[in-house]
Amino acid sequence: MTETVNASYDVVIVGGGHAGAQAAIALRQRKFTGTIAIIGDEIYPPYERPPLSKDYLAGAKSFERILIRPESFWSERVVSLLLGKTVVGVQPDARHVELADGQRIGYKHLIWAAGGAPRRLNCQGADLGGIHSVRSRADVDRMIAELPGVEQVVVIGGGYIGLEAAAVLSKFEKAVTVLEAQDRVLARVAGEPLSRFYEAEHRAHGVDIRLGVAVDRIEERDGMASGVRLADGTLLACDMVIVGIGILPTVRPLIDAGAEGDVGVRVNEYCETSLDDVYAIGDCATHRSSYADGALIRLESVQNANDQALTVAKLLTGTRDTYDAVPWFWSNQYDLRLQTVGLSTGYDEVVTRGRSADRAFSLIYLREGRVIALDCVNSTRDYVQGRALVVERAAIAHGILSDPALQLKDLAVDRRAAGLPLG
Ligand code: FAD
């Protein structure tokens, strides 16, 4: 029996976030003339997620200003936005996806760009009112609506998103406490000196940072969170809880359809999954990275979403270029702009350039004497110039890297020009 489909497109993109939007944009930029549909379960056209914990939460940017493209762009470029629709199944043999409303949408090429869903607390009280994630516009709008009645906020998770939200809410003069299970904030993504710097900054702004603590349960009053009870019995009274403990990639329909992967969907250097003509990009895609010593990783960044989208757009327009872009990321907290390049995981040495007391400095991470990453705080010049050192995996002595009189750009060797191996 042939299954009927309700509509078919040459390219179906599941997920209207950074990666999905950028894939459609790049396809049209590269003169792809086939039909394209983006299926997204949010009701909004594609928007930028980073401002959600920064300027959008702070009220400094309207929703229109965080749209990835003006609304008219999509119809002008003939990209069909099927919004408010959730893909629940993939039939790779029949080449269609199934929506929660029962519709089937056929594809020639399927780009899976479904991102991830926030990890939820797994304790008593986790479903009470007043507990928020920071992943979507809807999440943040709900939070903003509650804020006028809120005095005390507990942020669970000392990662970038939790810390950014804490910075904004402390400016709103809320009493903010950040709870972190590890012995330092940003433990998963940054070196210890950076963690200690941000802990001190937050404390100086009145944020109560508590390290090495475990949440036992959320206390309730009239169906709303009224406090966070720690494992040692301490009660932190609050009227709002923000949970920033990471995401779980949204990959179930694709894995059920037979794609290789587990926590993320496994892709090769062209972002191809193990299923024919099915690609995965962005937060949900696990790939091997030369910047992680060839390890399988998943990156959660705009850079990764955009560059993987471009890789697939190139592939579908006849250019087979591998994805090997240098990872970069940023975070804004108070008047501090952090810019990172490379991946510091596995570093065995950190060099500090400049003084953290000046609130403008860089940390340069090395492994076996080679530069693998930089974290630059209010030091855009180091960030821009240090990129070449990361790409080269430059071997440079500690004393030279830390010398602020020397510019990083003067330390980079053009390895190609010098006929030296890259990496
Ligand atoms: P997403 O942007 O999450 O898009 C996925 C879309 O797919 C979502 O709209 C989702 O609802 C939809 N979807 C999921 N499942 C389905 C389904 N079954 N059917 C249909 N649609 C579905 N990165 C940086 O580089 N710098 C930053 O400063 C930074 N700050 C951030 C701050 C916040 C608050 C957040 C949440 C993220 C931040 N990031 C930052 C990370 C960055 O936003 C993500 O890496 C990026 O959004 C990933 O893009 P994506 O398209 O893979 O996923």
Q: Is the CB of 125 under 6 A from ligand 1?
A: no
Q: Is the CB of 366 under 6 A from ligand 1?
A: no
**Rounded-to-integer distance, Cα 38 and Cα 40, Å:** 6
Q: Is the CB of 327 under 6 A from ligand 1?
A: no
Give the nearest ligand 1 atom to 300 CA.
45
Structure tokens given for 292: 């992680």
How confident is the model at residue 46, as a pLDDT?
A: 98
Q: Is the CB of 135 under 6 A from ligand 1?
A: yes
Give the nearest ligand 1 atom to 49 CA.
43
Task: Give me the long-range contacts of 355-358 (CB less than 8 A, separation at least 24).
Answer: 356/193, 356/197
**Rounded-to-integer distance, Cα 241 and Cα 133, Å:** 9
**Which of 43, 48, 49 is the best mutation target for the ligand 1 pocket, counting ligand atoms within 8 Å of the beta carbon and taking the most?**
49
Give the nearest ligand 1 atom to 115 CA.
53
Give the nearest ligand 1 atom to 331 CA.
28
Residue 302 Cα, ligand 1 centroid: separation in angstroms?
8
| b/e sequence 323-362, b meaning 16+ C-beta within 10 Å | bebbbbbbbbbbeebbbbbbbbbebebbbbbbebeeebbb
Residues of the chain with pLDDT under 70: 1-3, 413-423
Q: Is the CB of 329 under 6 A from ligand 1?
A: yes
Residue 404 Cα, ligand 1 centroid: separation in angstroms?
37
How confident is the model at residue 399, as a pLDDT?
A: 87
How confident is the model at residue 422, as a pLDDT?
A: 47
Nearest CA to ligand 1 atom 43: 49
Residue 283 Cα, ligand 1 centroid: separation in angstroms?
7
Residue 12 Cα, ligand 1 centroid: separation in angstroms?
18
The model scores a pTM over 0.85: yes
Give the nearest ligand 1 atom to 332 CA.
28
Give the nearest ligand 1 atom to 88 CA.
18
Give the nearest ligand 1 atom to 303 CA.
25
Distances (CA, A) of 336 to 162, 187, 378: 15, 19, 6
How confident is the model at residue 423, as a pLDDT?
A: 42
**Rounded-to-integer distance, Cα 128 and Cα 147, Å:** 16
**Rounded-to-integer distance, Cα 98 and Cα 6, Å:** 10
Q: Is the CB of 96 under 6 A from ligand 1?
A: no
DSSP 397: -
Residue 297 Cα, ligand 1 centroid: separation in angstroms?
17
- Write the secondary structure of 140-198 as one string of H (helix), E (strand) and C (coil): HHHHHHHHHHCCEEEEECCCHHHHHHHHHHHHCCCEEEEEECCCCCCCCCCCHHHHHHH
In terms of Cα–Cα distance, which of 268, 291, 287 is closest to 278?
A: 268
Q: Is the CB of 41 under 6 A from ligand 1?
A: yes
